[in-house]
Amino acid sequence: MDGSAPVAKMPKTAKERGKIAPAKLAHVVLRTPPERAHMVLDWYKVVLEGEAMYEADFGGFVTYDDEHHRIAVLGFPGIKEHIDGYAGMHHVAFTYEKLADLSHTYFRLKEENILPEFCINHGPTTSMYYFDPDKNQVELQVDNVPEEKFAEYFDNGEFSANPIGVKFDPEDLFKRLEAGEAEEDLLQRPEGAPPDLSEFPAN
Ligand SMILES: [Fe+2]
């Protein structure tokens, strides 16, 4: 790898590149102790503004769009508690249409005492990382770069110079949005050094 991102310049989909690939990313299934299944399920309903497509004693399926479920929570007897630092999935990310939607969601969740653990402008995205009740990490984000400009963005050197990003204060960012600053300006990655990776929640 030389740090460039040639895929950004290729035909957009794997199908257009002559490959047979999944039609979509369908869902994520989480396991949890049975007594916590509905607490976890409810957290995802709140965070994602979702509804239960199906719910039973063992857990349930949450949908917020035309997919039958995006998140499923299953209570399994004997599940052990989360331990930080194991290899495996780091987080699941959900993209909002615009910064105003991310701002709305931040304040809506704050009312529920659900706050992000870590906020960072990666360059390609403005991202807030939350922990669910089992300490699975959920990223709520917006794309900073329009799709047609991905190739240009990855060529401009910003990401290669700092592929982690620059932290931001959500209160400050969203106040500036409310005060009338343009989304496209607020989505620009601020000047600053990347955080130490140890600051990034590893869960
Ligand atoms: Fe992510």
Q: What gap in Å lies between CA 80 and CA 84, rounded to an integer? A: 12
pLDDT of residue 200: 77
Q: What gap in Å lies between CA 46 and CA 133, rounded to an integer? A: 12
User: Which helix H or strand E contains 75, and what residues bound it?
Assistant: strand 71-75
Near ion ligand 1, which residues have CB within 5 Å? Answer: 93, 139
Its CATH class, for the domain covering 25-81, is: alpha beta
Please provide the size of the chain in residues: 203
Cα–ligand 1 centroid distance for 56 (angstroms): 31
Cα–ligand 1 centroid distance for 117 (angstroms): 14
Tell me the domain boundaries of the chain.
25-81, 83-190
- Specify the pTM: 0.93
Domains 25-81 and 83-190 fall in the same CATH topology:
yes
User: Which helix H or strand E contains 131, and what residues bound it?
Assistant: strand 125-131
Cα–ligand 1 centroid distance for 93 (angstroms): 5
Cα–ligand 1 centroid distance for 29 (angstroms): 17
Q: Please name every residue paired with 61 in a beta bridge, in sequence order, or none if there are none.
A: 54, 72
Its CATH class, for the domain covering 83-190, is: alpha beta
Cα–ligand 1 centroid distance for 17 (angstroms): 24
Assign 102 to helix, strand or coil.
helix
pLDDT of residue 198: 79
Low-confidence ranges of the chain (pLDDT < 50): 1-4
Assign 60 to helix, strand or coil.
strand
Give tens-digit pLDDT for 180-192.
999 999 999 999 9
Nearest by Cα to 106 from 174, 178, 201: 174
pLDDT of residue 197: 78
pLDDT of residue 84: 87
Residue 37 phi, psi (nearest 5): -55, -45
